[in-house]
C-alpha cells in the first residue's frame, strides 16, 4: 500500500509539472522509495527529473520534476542545512544520529521533512525542507541532555562521515555479492540475506540479483553496513584472482 501511494504521488507531481509548466518536488525519500521511481519512470511525462539531498552522495533525497530546458528557468531545491552545536562544548554529551533524530521527531516533525543527519565530534548537520529548517532553529533547544544552538548555514565543504578511503580487495570476479562479502566481511548466506531483504542499492536502485557485475563508478549501498564506490580492476594475482579497487565511506 505504501509503495503504491509513493508511486501515485510521483505520477501526480510529474503531471502537474508537465501541465502547469512549473517545478514540483517530493518530500525526502528513503533509498527504497527513491528506487521506486525507476520502476515507473518510463510511464511518466518527459519533464526531466533531478535528485538532490543537500550534498553529494546524500542517501535521503528529494526528486524535482521539471528542468531548465523545458521550463526556461531554474529553481533550487527547498532544502536547508542546519548546524546543531552545543552551547557549552565542555559539558556536551557525545551525540548520536539517533539522539538528534529523536529530538527532532519530538518536535512533531514528520520524518519525510528531514533528510540526512551527519554527526561529528563537536557538532551535527541536518538537512531539512526549508520551512522545517526554520522551525527547527526556533524550537530545538536540547538534544539528549545537551543544550544546543541551531543555525541555517551554507553546506560545508567537508561534512562528518562523508570521507572515503581507498582500499584494494581480491575477488574471483566483479560480481556484486563477492565484492560486498569481501568489503564487509560477510559470509555468503549473510550476504544473500541482504539481497533477499532488499537492502542493497546500486546507483540508488534496489538490487536483488546477486550475480550482476559491477562497473567502474558504481555506487553501492548496503543498509546497516555502509557504502562504497567501485573503481574497477587494477590487477591480477598469481593465482588468477582479480585485484579490485574501491572507495569506502568512513
Q: How far apart are CA 62 and CA 29, in angstroms?
A: 6
pLDDT of 98 reads 95
pLDDT of 1 reads 40
Q: Looking at residues 10-28, what average pLDDT do you find?
A: 97
Q: If DSSP states are collapsed to H, E and C, what string results for the chain?
A: CHHHHHHHHHHHHHHHHHHHCCCEECCCECHHHHHHHHHHHHHCCCCCEEEECCCCCCCCEEEEECCHHHHCCCCCCCEEEEEEEECCHHHCCCCCHHHHHHHHHCCCCCHHHEEEEEECCCCEEEEEEHHHHHHHHHHCCEECCEEEEEEEECCCCCCCCCCEEEEEEEECCCEHHHHHHHHHCCCHHHHHHHHHCCCEEECCEECCCCCCECCCCCEEEECCCEEEEEEEEEEECCCCCEEEEEEEEC
C-alpha closest to that of 67 among 36, 22, 126: 22
pLDDT of 91 reads 76
Q: Looking at residues 111-140, what average pLDDT do you find?
A: 95
Q: Cell triple for residue 80?
A: 536547508
The more confidently predicted of residues 161 and 175 is: 175
Give percent of the chain with pLDDT exceeding 90.
Answer: 87
Count CB neighbours of 77 within 10 A: 19
pTM for this entry: 0.88
pLDDT of 88 reads 87
Q: Looking at residues 219-226, what average pLDDT do you find?
A: 94
**Is residue 134 pLDDT above 50, yes or no?**
yes
CATH top-level class of 79-153: alpha beta
- Domain 2-71: give its CATH architecture: 2-Layer Sandwich (3.30)
Q: How far apart are CA 162 and CA 177, in angstroms?
A: 24
**Is residue 144 pLDDT above 50, yes or no?**
yes
Q: 3.30.2130.10, 2.30.110.10, 3.30.565.10, 3.10.290.10: which CATH number matches 164-249?
A: 3.10.290.10
Q: How far apart are CA 114 and CA 169, in angstroms?
A: 36
From residue 130, alpha-carbon distances to 6, 80, 111, 141, 153 in Å are: 21, 5, 14, 19, 12
The more confidently predicted of residues 76 and 57 is: 76
How do residues 172-205 score in pLDDT, each as one tens digit?
999 999 999 999 999 989 999 999 999 999 999 9
**Is residue 150 pLDDT above 50, yes or no?**
yes
pLDDT of 34 reads 96
How do residues 60-94 score in pLDDT, each as one tens digit?
999 999 999 999 999 999 999 999 999 988 878 88
Q: Looking at residues 3-12, what average pLDDT do you find?
A: 89
pLDDT of 3 reads 54
Q: Where are the domains of the chain?
A: 2-71, 79-153, 164-249
Amino acid at each position: 500500500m505504501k509503495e503504491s501511494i509513493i508511486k501515485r504521488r510521483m505520477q501526480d507531481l510529474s503531471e502537474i509539472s508537465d501541465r502547469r509548466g512549473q517545478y514540483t518536488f517530493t518530500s525526502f525519500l528513503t533509498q527504497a522509495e527513491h528506487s521506486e521511481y525507476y520502476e515507473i519512470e518510463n510511464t511518466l511525462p518527459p519533464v526531466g527529473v533531478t535528485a538532490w539531498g543537500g550534498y553529494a552522495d546524500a542517501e535521503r533525497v528529494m526528486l524535482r520534476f521539471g528542468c531548465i530546458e523545458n521550463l526556461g528557468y531554474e529553481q533550487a531545491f527547498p532544502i536547508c542545512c542546519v548546524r546543531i552545536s552545543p552551547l557549552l562544548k565542555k559539558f556536551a554529551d557525545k551525540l548520536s544520529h539517533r539522539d538528534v533524530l529523536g529530538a527532532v521527531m519530538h518536535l512533531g516533525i514528520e520524518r519525510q521533512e528531514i533528510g540526512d543527519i551527519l554527526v561529528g565530534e563537536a557538532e551535527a548537520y541536518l538537512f531539512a525542507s526549508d520551512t522545517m529548517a526554520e522551525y527547527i532553529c526556533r524550537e530545538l533547544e536540547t538534544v539528549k541532555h545537551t543544550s544546543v544552538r541551531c543555525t541555517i548555514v551554507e553546506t560545508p565543504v567537508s561534512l562528518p562521515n562523508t570521507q572515503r578511503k581507498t582500499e584494494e580487495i581480491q575477488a574471483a570476479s566483479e560480481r556484486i555479492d563477492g565484492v560486498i562479502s569481501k568489503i564487509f566481511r560477510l559470509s555468503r548466506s549473510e550476504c544473500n540475506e541482504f539481497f533477499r531483504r532488499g537492502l542493497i542499492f546500486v546507483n540508488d536502485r534496489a538490487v536483488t540479483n546477486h550475480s550482476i557485475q559491477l562497473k567502474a563508478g558504481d555506487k553501492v549501498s548496503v543498509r546497516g553496513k555502509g557504502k562504497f564506490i567501485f573503481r574497477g580492476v587494477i590487477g591480477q594475482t598469481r593465482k588468477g584472482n582479480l585485484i579490485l579497487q574501491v572507495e569506502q565511506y568512513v
